[in-house]
Structure 1
Amino acid sequence: MKVLVAIKRVIDYNVKIRVKSDGSGVETQNVKFSMNPFDEIAVEEAVRLKEAGKAAEVVVVSVGPAACSETLRTALAMGADRGVLVQSDDEVQPLAVAKVLKALAAKEAPGLIILGKQAIDDDSNQTGQMLAALLGQPQGTFASKLEIGADAVTVTREVDGGLETVSLKLPAVVTTDLRLNEPRYASLPNIMKAKKKPIDTVSPADLGVDVSPRLVTLKVEEPPKRSAGIKVADVAALVDKLKNEAKVI
């Protein structure tokens, strides 16, 4: 079985985000980028499936600028076999990514597609669900446990009420949650080996996909600074302030 894993290059989670002075977006110049943490979990799970003999090949794909090849190399160093870069210097929104992945799935014919449940830059949490709908395949979102059978995958999902277990007939789409696994660190020998692994570069046009944005960002602004807390004498004073000042009750 072939496993296809989608990964995204995002601003590193340790970086303090700064909004551009013109409010058109966030500052990306001279900022450290890394693989989206949820996608690291997806790569780790795919590599574990291969190590357990449940998968024959792990293919990682990223959609974005040429710099995404560095992120693909990180995934290859973790144990993926080869990469595909769908190069686009324009903004690529979740629906467009799902269409690109659908086109790649038609070429690669994977038995399982794994994605992070969301990216930490836009927090859209949409691509996996859209991809499953476009492919007409079953989906298991927010996975905290994965078990592969002969022709099905059992997914334990994290939901508001606790845990839910679903059985999906393969091929299927799975999105990963934080508690699925702990991603490994790539060793130096594997980093060196990853430099020799193949990365194919294609464009959205090569796949017959239009990635033109459908949504327009009007303005980006920082949240208001949190004001200092105050002490109240008793419960009555607290209720009064919540009701008349904060207006939350």
Structure 2
Amino acid sequence: MKIAVLVKHVPDTYGERRLDPATGWADRTAGDQVIDEISERAVEVALAHKDQDRSTEVVVVTMGPPQATDALRKALAMGADRAVHVLDDALAGADLMVTATVLATALRPERFDLVIAGNESTDGRGGMLPALLAEMLGLPLLSALRTVGLTEREVSGTRITDAASTQVRAQLPAVISITEQLPDARFAGLRGIMAAKRKPQAKLTLAALGLEEPRPRTVVTSTTAVPGRTGGPRIEDDGSAARQLADFLADRHLI
């Protein structure tokens, strides 16, 4: 079985994150960049199956700037077999449609049995990429899975919504997206880190994929910084603090 896992290099959620006011894009220089946690969990799903079937090939795929290689190295150190990096300056600031088009073009010749992605990245949080990929590849989609079962012919899992818990399944090949309710990723030890240096990492440009410079379907028209927080009213207890607090809450219809 051949499994593709989509990974993304994102600003660290524990650090500062901001938009570049000139472009409206995420500022990739604002803080540390790391592999997205949901991407790590997606890699773990693939590797857990590889643990059961050693003939399984796990390929990690990303589209991003040169530093996105770090995310691929982390996935290779965890145990993935090889990596594919779509890298082209013309893709800077790509929207969801452009990203899906390019990734679908990169994935199609490989004829993967399963494509795994996170349900949404922690930077863009569009949540639409798995569905767009499934549509472009002409494959069934099982989205937002909290459990995943995989056999030679079928993928299945549990999807939780506000209304119900649903058991879903599809014949392979297919696309799935997983949630943070899947297990944490395994630790990449020293042996894995050293082995990752010898694993293949293919770099693909738009020209190599046979694509012209894509035209975005969405445009950022303006950006506005979030205003800083201001202090609330301060109540000094001069004997009337209880009344002042009650009036404050009543004015805001909280009592």
Normalised TM-score (structure 2): 0.86
C-alpha contact (below 8 Å) 2:97/2:216 kept by paired residues: no
Map of 1:145-224 to 2, 5 A cutoff?
145-209=147-211, 210-224=213-227
Q: Which moved more, 1:50-59 or 1:114-123?
A: 50-59
C-alpha contact (below 8 Å) 1:36/1:119 kept by paired residues: yes
Residue 108 (structure 1) shift: 0.7
Paired with 1:139 and 1:100, the residues of 2 have a C-alpha distance of 18
The amino acid that maps onto 2:214 is V
C-alpha contact (below 8 Å) 1:26/1:220 kept by paired residues: no
C-alpha contact (below 8 Å) 2:63/2:103 kept by paired residues: no
The amino acid that maps onto 1:199 is Q
* 1:246 alignment partner in structure 2: none
Map of 1:39-118 to 2, 5 A cutoff?
39-53=39-53, 56-89=56-89, 90-118=92-120
What SS does the corresponding residue of 2:252 show, helix, strand or coil?
A: helix
Distance 1:193 1:143, change over 3 A: same
Q: Decide which of 129, 132, 146 is 1:130's aligned counterpart.
A: 132
Distance 1:139 1:78, change over 3 A: same
Residue 101 (structure 1) shift: 2.4
The amino acid that maps onto 1:194 is A
Residue 241 (structure 1) shift: 2.1
C-alpha contact (below 8 Å) 1:38/1:116 kept by paired residues: yes
Distance 1:25 1:107, change over 3 A: closer
What SS does the corresponding residue of 1:233 show, helix, strand or coil?
A: helix
Aligned length: 241
What SS does the corresponding residue of 1:179 show, helix, strand or coil?
A: coil
Paired with 2:6 and 2:35, the residues of 1 have a C-alpha distance of 11
Residue 227 (structure 1) shift: 5.0
Instruction: State the structure with more CA Rg.
Output: 2
Is 1:241 the equivalent of 2:252? yes
Residue 157 (structure 1) shift: 1.2
Paired with 1:203 and 1:23, the residues of 2 have a C-alpha distance of 23
The amino acid that maps onto 2:27 is E
Distance 1:223 1:85, change over 3 A: same
Q: Where does the alignment leave 5 or more consecutive residues of structure 1 unmatched?
A: 244-249
